[in-house]
Amino acid sequence: MSRNPLHADGCWFKDEGGRVVILRGVNVAGNSKIPPFVPFSDTTRLDPVKEWGMNVIRLVLIWEAIEPEPGKYNEDYIDAMEALVSAAGERGIYVILDMHQDMFSRYLNGGCGDGAPSWAIDPSIPQDAPANDERCIDWVNGLNDKNVLRAFDSFYANVNGVRDHYISMWAHIARRFGDHPAVIGYDLMNEPIGDEVSQIASLYEDAGAAIRGFDPDGILFVEPSIFTSFGAIYSQLPPLSLANYAYAPHFYSASLLISNIFSTAEADKSFTDFNSKVEELGGVPLLLGEFGMYPEKARVSEYIDDIYRRLDDCFYGGTQWNYCPGWDSTKLDGWNRENYSIIDDRGNIRQNFRVRACTQRVAGIPKKLEVSDKRVRLEWENQPELAAPTLLYVPVDIMFNGSQFDIIEGASVHCELENRYLTCTASGRGTRTVEVKAR
2-6, 127-131, 252-256: range with lowest mean pLDDT: 2-6
Q: What's the chain's average pLDDT?
A: 97
CB 308 within 8 A of CB 356: yes
CA atoms within 13 A on the CB side of 119: 15
Q: What is the pLDDT of residue 3?
A: 75
Residue ranges of the domains in the chain?
6-355, 365-438
Measured distance CA(360)–CA(318) in Å, rounded: 12
pLDDT band at 1 (very low <50, low <70, confident <90, very high): very low
What's the rounded mean pLDDT across residues 26-34? 98
Q: Does residue 2 register a pLDDT over 70?
A: no
Q: What tens digit of pLDDT does each residue of 75-133 get? A: 999 999 999 999 999 999 999 999 999 999 999 999 999 999 999 999 999 999 999 99
- What CATH number was assigned to the domain covering residues 365-438? 2.60.40.1180
Q: What is the pLDDT of residue 231?
A: 83
CA-based nearest residue to 224, from 272, 286, 168: 286
CB 63 within 8 A of CB 115: yes
Torsion of CA 153, 156, 157, 162, to 10 degrees: 110
List of residues 6+ apart from 67 with CB closer than 8 A: 73, 74, 117, 165, 169
Residue 349 DSSP code: B
Measured distance CA(107)–CA(118) in Å, rounded: 6
Bridge partners (DSSP) listed for residue 378: 369, 434
In CATH, the architecture of 6-355 is Alpha-Beta Barrel (3.20)
CA-based nearest residue to 5, from 185, 235, 234: 185
CB 173 within 8 A of CB 126: no
Residue 352 DSSP code: T
CA-based nearest residue to 335, from 122, 74, 109: 109
Q: What tens digit of pLDDT does each residue of 34-88 get? A: 999 999 999 999 999 999 999 999 999 999 999 999 999 999 999 999 999 999 9
Q: Does residue 267 register a pLDDT over 70?
A: yes
Q: What tens digit of pLDDT does each residue of 300-337 get? A: 999 999 999 999 999 999 999 999 999 999 999 999 99
Q: What is the pLDDT of residue 371?
A: 97
pTM over 0.85: yes
The length of the chain in residues reads: 439
CB 359 within 8 A of CB 316: no
Cα separation values, 143 from 34, 99, 124, 148, 418, Å: 20, 19, 19, 7, 49
Cα separation values, 397 from 26, 347, 393, Å: 22, 19, 12
Q: What is the pLDDT of residue 196?
A: 98
Q: Does residue 33 register a pLDDT over 60?
A: yes
What's the rounded mean pLDDT across residues 233-244? 96
Q: What angle do CA 147, 153, 158 make, to 5 degrees?
A: 125
CB 434 within 8 A of CB 412: no
